């Protein structure tokens, strides 16, 4: 293969766009939660059900996407889900209550695993092992840009044209992303079907007997727990006095996500230099420092803390995702699906449990919860990873 072909692989761009699509939809309400809570006259904990509904649906369906991919094919499943997810996004704009919004968020969540879980498994199958971490890093760049856009774009548009029209714009971006992936992603060539639902179940039992995968799933739980906890409740912290941030500024906070786009592509080289365990323990130490910085009153320090949290969390996620695809020699779709399920259970727990901490102890309680989970992650990495 010519060097220019290696340097420009349309499939790499395609999987990055797939990550963008999944996460722009998943996180589109997050910066709007204070605004929506005020409009529907509900508490912070109640409006956070919009996040829990999406992540809960993902946790339920992610382990079974591999079986569906066996029937439909990986590229077909990814692109079909990308087109389909635009539908509940549009329907959300007609909702008149939080339960209605939560229902359509749940439907959105059902369609997310066929995008990202299958895309990650596609990476593990279609690239040589030496390139998996690099391509997974590029995928995570797309995911981080999608996560940022999901918060930033609706935040700006809500102040300008209202939250309902903002969700319509997200739907249009989703359809555009689906067209790009249809054109750039090739049909799978190295995919070995798992044997349908029975085969996926057999592989899941096999994965749950591997202590390295169990530890990696636990890391995934903690990563999204802290992401959701941090980036959900910092909105309420900064929307309250003395900051009083409007939706546009709350959405702009998520520019911190873009910092990870610079760091994540270097994860593979850092693992080679320091080793996986040592590198991730260093990441977690910096992550704790970022969380503690967010306790300081000056907004500039909160912003630095958020940036550290975004970069460290995304790097940790990149290492864990790549480790799943490298560790699972068979049944990668089910291995990634199990990881995604536990990951999003962690996100649901992060929204719910940190909401209890918010109700009892405010922002200080949220940060204490985040740091406690980070400490648990460090123990798991130190004792279970090589």
CB 281 within 8 A of CB 381: yes
Query: Is the pLDDT at 333 greater than 80, yes or no?
Result: no
45: buried, middle or exposed (CB in 10 Å: 19+, 13-18, 0-12)? middle
Q: Taking each helix axis as running N to C, give the angle between helix 211-239 and helix 33-40, from 0 to 180 degrees, rounded to the nearest 10.
A: 60
The answer to which of 123-127, 131-135, 159-163, 195-199 has the lowest mean pLDDT is: 195-199
Residue 207 included in any domain: yes
Residue 61 included in any domain: yes
Residue 191's pLDDT band (boundaries 50, 70, 90)?
low
Residue 93's pLDDT band (boundaries 50, 70, 90)?
very high
Long-range (24+ apart) CB contacts under 8 A made by 42-48 are 42/98, 43/359, 44/233, 44/236, 44/355, 44/358, 44/359, 45/352, 45/355, 45/356, 45/358, 45/359, 46/98, 47/98, 48/232, 48/351, 48/352, 48/355
What pLDDT, on a 0 to 100 scale, did the predictor assign at position 196? 59
Residue range 284-303, pLDDT digits in tens: 999 999 999 999 999 999 99
Residue 309 included in any domain: yes
Residue range 227-236, pLDDT digits in tens: 889 988 998 9
* Virtual torsion, Cα 245, 251, 255, 260, nearest 10 deg: 120
What pLDDT, on a 0 to 100 scale, did the predictor assign at position 2? 40
Query: Is the pLDDT at 380 greater than 80, yes or no?
Result: yes
What does the pLDDT average to over 123-146? 82
The token duo for 377 is 């992650």
What Cα–Cα distance (Å) separates residue 63 from each residue in 221, 230, 320? Answer: 15, 26, 17
What pLDDT, on a 0 to 100 scale, did the predictor assign at position 58? 87
What pLDDT, on a 0 to 100 scale, did the predictor assign at position 139? 87
Query: Is the pLDDT at 253 greater than 50, yes or no?
Result: yes
Residue 2 included in any domain: no
Q: Please tell me which of 127-131, 156-160, 360-364 the model is most confident about, judged by mean pLDDT.
A: 360-364
CB 101 within 8 A of CB 94: no
Spatial distance between the Cα atoms of 321 and 339, rounded to a whole number of angstroms: 8
The answer to which of 7-21, 96-110, 122-136, 207-221 has the lowest mean pLDDT is: 122-136
What does the pLDDT average to over 28-52? 87
What pLDDT, on a 0 to 100 scale, did the predictor assign at position 9? 83
Residue 1 included in any domain: no
What pLDDT, on a 0 to 100 scale, did the predictor assign at position 55? 84
Question: Looking at the 3D structure of the chain, how many domains does it have?
Answer: 1
Q: What CATH number is given to the structural domain containing 171?
A: 1.20.1250.20
Long-range (24+ apart) CB contacts under 8 A made by 39-45 are 39/163, 40/97, 40/98, 42/98, 43/359, 44/233, 44/236, 44/355, 44/358, 44/359, 45/352, 45/355, 45/356, 45/358, 45/359
What does the pLDDT average to over 104-133? 85
What pLDDT, on a 0 to 100 scale, did the predictor assign at position 4? 37
- Give the end-to-end CA distance of the chain in Å, rounded to a whole number: 34
What does the pLDDT average to over 336-355? 86
What pLDDT, on a 0 to 100 scale, did the predictor assign at position 208? 78
Query: Is the pLDDT at 188 greater than 50, yes or no?
Result: yes
Spatial distance between the Cα atoms of 215 and 378, rounded to a whole number of angstroms: 11
Residue 327 included in any domain: yes
Query: Is the pLDDT at 180 greater than 90, yes or no?
Result: yes
pTM for this predicted structure: 0.75
What pLDDT, on a 0 to 100 scale, did the predictor assign at position 193? 62
To the nearest whole percent, how much of the chain has pLDDT over 70? 92
What pLDDT, on a 0 to 100 scale, did the predictor assign at position 181? 95
Long-range (24+ apart) CB contacts under 8 A made by 26-29 are 26/54, 26/55, 26/58, 26/108, 26/109, 26/112, 26/147, 26/150, 27/146, 27/147, 27/150, 27/151, 27/231, 28/89, 28/150, 28/151, 28/153, 28/154, 28/166, 28/167, 28/170, 29/101, 29/105, 29/154
| 149 contact partners, CB below 8 Å, separation of at least 6 | 20, 24, 173
Instruction: Compute the residue count for the chain.
Output: 386
The answer to which of 38-52, 193-207, 228-242, 372-386 has the lowest mean pLDDT is: 193-207
CB 239 within 8 A of CB 158: no
Query: Is the pLDDT at 178 greater than 60, yes or no?
Result: yes
Which comes out higher in pLDDT, residue 59 or 13?
13
To the nearest whole percent, how much of the chain has pLDDT over 90? 43
Residue 159's pLDDT band (boundaries 50, 70, 90)?
confident
The token duo for 244 is 């009083």
Which comes out higher in pLDDT, residue 211 or 93?
93
Residue 73 included in any domain: yes
Residue 315 included in any domain: yes
Residue-number span of the structural domain to which 60 is assigned = 9-384
């Amino acid at each position: 293969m010519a060097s220019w072909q290696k340097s420009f692989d349309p499939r790499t761009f395609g999987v990055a766009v797939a990550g963008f699509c999944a996460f722009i939809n998943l996180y589109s309400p997050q910066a709007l939660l204070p605004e929506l809570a005020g409009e529907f006259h509900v508490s912070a904990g109640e409006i956070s059900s919009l996040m829990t509904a999406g992540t809960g649906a993902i946790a339920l369906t992610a382990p079974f996407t591999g079986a569906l991919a066996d029937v439909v094919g990986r590229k077909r499943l990814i692109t079909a889900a990308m087109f389909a997810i635009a539908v509940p996004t549009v329907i959300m704009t007609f909702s008149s209550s939080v339960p209605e919004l939560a229902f359509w968020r749940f439907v959105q969540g059902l369609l997310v695993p066929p995008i990202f879980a299958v895309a990650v498994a596609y990476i593990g199958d279609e690239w040589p092992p030496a390139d998996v971490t690099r391509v997974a890093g590029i995928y995570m760049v797309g995911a981080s840009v999608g996560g940022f856009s999901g918060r930033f774009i609706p935040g700006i548009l809500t102040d300008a044209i209202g939250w309902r029209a903002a969700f319509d714009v997200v739907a249009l971006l989703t359809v555009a992303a689906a067209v790009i992936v249809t054109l750039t992603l090739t049909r799978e060539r190295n995919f070995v079907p798992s044997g349908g639902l029975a085969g996926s179940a057999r592989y899941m039992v096999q994965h749950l007997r591997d202590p390295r995968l169990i530890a990696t799933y636990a890391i995934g739980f903690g990563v999204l727990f802290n992401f959701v906890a941090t980036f959900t409740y910092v909105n309420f912290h900064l929307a309250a006095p003395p900051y009083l941030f409007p939706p546009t500024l709350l959405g702009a906070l998520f520019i911190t996500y873009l910092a990870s786009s610079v760091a994540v592509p270097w994860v593979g080289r850092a693992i080679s230099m320091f080793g996986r365990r040592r590198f991730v323990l260093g990441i977690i130490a910096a992550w704790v420092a970022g969380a503690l910085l967010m306790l300081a009153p000056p907004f500039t320090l909160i912003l630095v803390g958020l940036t550290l949290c975004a970069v460290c969390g995304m790097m940790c996620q990149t290492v864990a995702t790549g480790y799943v695809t490298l560790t699972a020699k068979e049944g990668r779709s089910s291995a990634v699906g199990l990881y995604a399920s536990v990951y999003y259970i962690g996100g649901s727990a992060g929204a719910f449990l940190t909401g209890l901490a918010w109700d009892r102890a405010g922002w200080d309680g949220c940060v204490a919860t985040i740091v406690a989970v980070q400490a648990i992650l460090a123990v798991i990495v130190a004792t279970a990873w090589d």
